[in-house]
A = this chain, B = another copy of it.
Amino acid sequence: MKIAIVTTGDEIMSGNVVDTNSAWIADKCWMLGHEVVWHGGVGDYKEGIGDACVLASERAEIVFVSGGLGATLDDITLESAAAAFGKKMIGGKPLENKVGTAPGVQVKLGKAVFFFLPGVPRELYQIFEDSILPLLKEMAGGGIYRQKFLRCFGLPEASLDERLKGLDFGGVRVSFRVTYPEVKIKLVARKEKTVTGDKWLVISEAEKKIRERIGDYVFGVDDETMEAAAGNLLKKKKMTIAVAESCTGGYISNLITNVAGSSEWFERGVISYSNKSKMEILGVKAETIKKYGAVSEECTREMAEGVLKISGAGIGLSVTGVAGPSGGTEGKPVGTVHIALATHDETRHISCCHPRPREQFKMLTAYEALDMVRRL
């Protein structure tokens, strides 16, 4: 069905708050085969709200209005909408609000069914999921969609696109979504009944074809982060890891410890920011730093082997580099980074250069380091 969304609120119109409710609602509707055809936004004034509601009702069969349902003076959405449709007040069906005070309201106005919802996201989500989603599912008439994300790292969008060229996905819609530094491949399929009862066959078929082309650049699916992907493998192999970070300053350890249960496989981390700490804790030789510098393959290798040795973990991971904005030299420009991975058998090393803003540099380097762990 055709859907319109109306957002009300001075805080949205003045740019004080970014409207995330509309995208959230649109995503839910789209997944059920409904189409959002119109979006209107107005401040907290009667004529504006009325105007937006009337326009929406002329363009869609279902209208969601968010904001202005509370008890304060500027909560005038219901009376404004009523006035615009020539009514004294809205006499609709209340929709229970379990996490806030103002209930939602469902009512027919003009040719459209209106759902009035609070502007506070968690209240809107709860009412939508409990009271509205079931209705939308019924109205969808079987045209339900399902999606899956394949999360990739190490190839840019253009290269992934190139690799997938010419593939027939059998009705599955394939698109890319870049969430730096990842590229997510989004697969969307319509629900279809088959004789075998396997309703989502098409999505797994398309996934298989994609994986054949891009192989292990896919590190996870849906909510699986890079740190969880690496962690799950370590857990499975019953291995532990210790990390020595310089330029990433704790970012890698922070990602790892965001994973619940990471204490099973994360032994310790050392943020050896100063040369002194590299030598004292990790046993990097003064001579190495003097000869090659702290940002060098030699130093990184000693850091990885050092943290492996002192921790008794199965893997030692290390990074050192020039995060910038200053500190770069001709031979080692801002963005230079060395990563090493030591096990009891071998020490691997890679180096790269990412001249990017400080936080992006840290994030990208962390992904590369964790990807080395995953590939190992």
Q: Which residues of A contact B (CB under 8 A)?
A: 5, 7, 12-20, 22-30, 35-43, 48, 51, 55, 59, 175, 177, 186, 243, 245, 248-254, 256-258, 260-263, 266-274, 276-277, 280-281, 310-312, 323-327, 358-359, 362
Q: How far is the CA of A84 from the CA of B250 in the complex (A)?
A: 55
Q: How far is the CA of A130 from the CA of B96 in the complex (A)?
A: 49
Residues of B contacting A13 in the complex (Cβ-Cβ under 8 angstroms): 26, 35-37, 39
Does B358 contact A258, Cβ atoms closer than 8 Å? yes
Q: Least Cβ distance of A71 to chain B in Å?
A: 16
Residues of B contacting A5 in the complex (Cβ-Cβ under 8 angstroms): 41
- Given A37-B43, A248-B254, A260-B326; 15 other pairs, CB 8 A cutoff: A13-B35, A13-B37, A14-B26, A14-B30, A15-B26, A15-B36, A16-B175, A18-B23, A249-B253, A250-B251, A257-B362, A260-B325, A260-B358, A269-B269, A281-B310
Q: How far is the CA of A39 from the CA of B24 in the complex (A)?
A: 18
Residues of B contacting A55 in the complex (Cβ-Cβ under 8 angstroms): 55
Does B257 contact A269, Cβ atoms closer than 8 Å? no
Does A268 contact B270, Cβ atoms closer than 8 Å? yes
For A13, the closest partner residue in chain B by CB is: B36
The 18 listed contacts between A and B (C-beta, < 8 Å) are: A14-B30, A15-B27, A15-B30, A16-B175, A16-B177, A51-B59, A55-B55, A249-B254, A249-B257, A250-B271, A254-B254, A257-B271, A258-B362, A260-B326, A263-B273, A263-B274, A276-B311, A277-B311
Does A23 contact B28, Cβ atoms closer than 8 Å? no
For A59, the closest partner residue in chain B by CB is: B51
A269 is contacted by which of B22, B249, B311, B326 (Cβ under 8 Å)? B249
For A260, the closest partner residue in chain B by CB is: B325
A273 is contacted by which of B7, B12, B43, B268 (Cβ under 8 Å)? B268
Q: How far is the CA of A312 from the CA of B26 in the complex (A)?
A: 56
Does B15 contact A23, Cβ atoms closer than 8 Å? yes
Q: How far is the CA of A43 from the CA of B19 in the complex (A)?
A: 17
Q: How far is the CA of A298 from the CA of B197 in the complex (A)?
A: 61
For A269, the closest partner residue in chain B by CB is: B271
Does B271 contact A271, Cβ atoms closer than 8 Å? yes
Q: Least Cβ distance of A18 to chain B in Å?
A: 4
Does A16 contact B12, Cβ atoms closer than 8 Å? no
Q: How far is the CA of A268 from the CA of B20 in the complex (A)?
A: 39
Residues of B contacting A253 in the complex (Cβ-Cβ under 8 angstroms): 249-250, 253-254, 271
A38 is contacted by which of B48, B249, B261, B274 (Cβ under 8 Å)? B48
Residues of B contacting A175 in the complex (Cβ-Cβ under 8 angstroms): 16
For A278, the closest partner residue in chain B by CB is: B268
Residues of B contacting A277 in the complex (Cβ-Cβ under 8 angstroms): 267-268, 311
Residues of B contacting A311 in the complex (Cβ-Cβ under 8 angstroms): 276-277
Residues of B contacting A260 in the complex (Cβ-Cβ under 8 angstroms): 324-326, 358
Residues of B contacting A324 in the complex (Cβ-Cβ under 8 angstroms): 260
Residues of B contacting A326 in the complex (Cβ-Cβ under 8 angstroms): 260-261
Does A18 contact B18, Cβ atoms closer than 8 Å? yes
Q: Least Cβ distance of A9 to chain B in Å?
A: 11
Does B18 contact A12, Cβ atoms closer than 8 Å? no
Q: Least Cβ distance of A369 to chain B in Å?
A: 13
Q: How far is the CA of A213 from the CA of B171 in the complex (A)?
A: 63
Residues of B contacting A27 in the complex (Cβ-Cβ under 8 angstroms): 14-16
For A7, the closest partner residue in chain B by CB is: B39
Does B15 contact A24, Cβ atoms closer than 8 Å? yes
Q: Least Cβ distance of A253 to chain B in Å?
A: 3
